[in-house]
Chains A and B, each alone.
Chain A
Amino acid sequence: DSGVTQTPKHLITATGQRVTLRCSPRSGDLSVYWYQQSLDQGLQFLIQYYNGEERAKGNILERFSAQQFPDLHSELNLSSLELGDSALYFCASSAGNSYNEQFFGPGTRLTVL
């Protein structure tokens, strides 16, 4: 158990809908990262937050957004969902904001029908 929690574990929704994925980092970790894992794209970095502020952005679609709250939990919002958004979404956390190993949560499997 990495100490990173993600909810829900599974999510099934329809095209055009909006969903919110939630992540709680390990106790004491200030950085939260979001990754998407799909069969065709592999593991792709989406976005990083450090102590509530956005630090790095990857290949995150404009339909996706994230935030980190004062209690350090983070949410990833996916809107106008398409079939291609079906994937496993991981949250990870690390102690600082540079070079630290990232510890991953169990992931949220999103299925868009």
Chain B
Amino acid sequence: AQKVTQAQTEISVVEKEDVTLDCVYETRDTTYYLFWYKQPPSGELVFLIRRNSFDEQNEISGRYSWNFQKSTSSFNFTITASQVVDSAVYFCALSEVGTQGAQKLVFGQGTRLTINP
């Protein structure tokens, strides 16, 4: 069965610090997708990134960057120069695809990130 582990339950840093959120996954599939979602205090889930299993290039989007390492089954997320608005719960997820396009996201338990001013 597929599994996503976010070992860091809570992280608290001071504004402008860099912070890395860890994500480790387990799957037997050779083709899969990984995702990060943000859940701010308002409660909605906001899509951040999708990465497929064949593309190990790191990705950067503004202050956000993602490091995908297939060898260690990890897909870590770094926020550079953190801001108070980055405070949220962050979820890593793995896409499990079955027959006829059946798809479900398997989520980690989430990491609650608090950025203190």
- Enumerate chain B residues within 8 angstroms of A109, measured Cβ to Cβ: 43
Q: Give the number of A-B contacts (CB < 8 Å).
A: 70
Interface residues of B in 17-60 (CB under 8 A from A): 33, 35, 37, 43-47, 50, 52
Which among B47, B104, B109, B110 has the greatest number of chain A C-beta atoms within 10 A?
B104
- Secondary structure class of chain A's binding surface, majority of residues: strand
Determine if A97 and B101 form an interchain contact, defined as CB atoms under 8 angstroms apart. yes
B81 at the binding interface (Cβ < 8 Å) = no
Is A104 a contact of B97 with CB atoms below 8 Å?
no
Contact check, B45 vs A104: say whether CB atoms are below 8 A apart: yes
Question: B43: which of A45, A100, A103, A107 is its contact (CB, 8 Å)?
Answer: A107
Q: Which of B43, B91, B101, B110 contacts A50 (CB 8 A)?
A: B101
Q: For the complex, what is the distance from the CA of A41 to the CA of B46, rounded to whole Å?
A: 20
Q: Is B85 part of the contact surface with A, judged by Cβ < 8 Å?
A: no
Cross-chain contact B44 with A2 (CB below 8 angstroms): yes
A43 touches B91 (CB 8 A): yes
- Which of B95, B104, B110 is within 8 Å of A58, CB to CB? B104
Residue pair B107, A43 in contact (C-beta under 8 Å): yes
Shortest distance between the CB of B40 and any CB in chain A (Å) = 11
Say yes or no: is A79 at the interface (Cβ < 8 Å to chain B).
no
Distance in Å from the Cβ of A58 to the closest Cβ of chain B? 6
Least distance between A101 CB and chain B CB atoms (Å): 5
A55 lies within 8 A of chain B by Cβ: yes
- The answer to whether the Cβ of B98 comes within 8 Å of any Cβ in the partner chain is yes
Tell whether, in the assembled complex, residue A42 and residue B103 are in contact, meaning their CB atoms are under 8 Å apart. no
Is the pair B104, A45 in contact by a Cβ cutoff of 8 Å? Answer: yes
Chain A residues 54 to 113 lying within 8 A of chain B, measured CB to CB, are 55-56, 58, 88, 90, 92, 94, 96-107, 109
For this complex, 19 residue pairs linking A to B, each with C-beta atoms less than 8 Å apart, are A33-B103, A33-B105, A42-B109, A42-B110, A45-B105, A45-B106, A48-B102, A55-B100, A56-B103, A58-B104, A90-B45, A92-B45, A98-B101, A99-B95, A99-B103, A102-B105, A104-B44, A104-B47, A106-B43
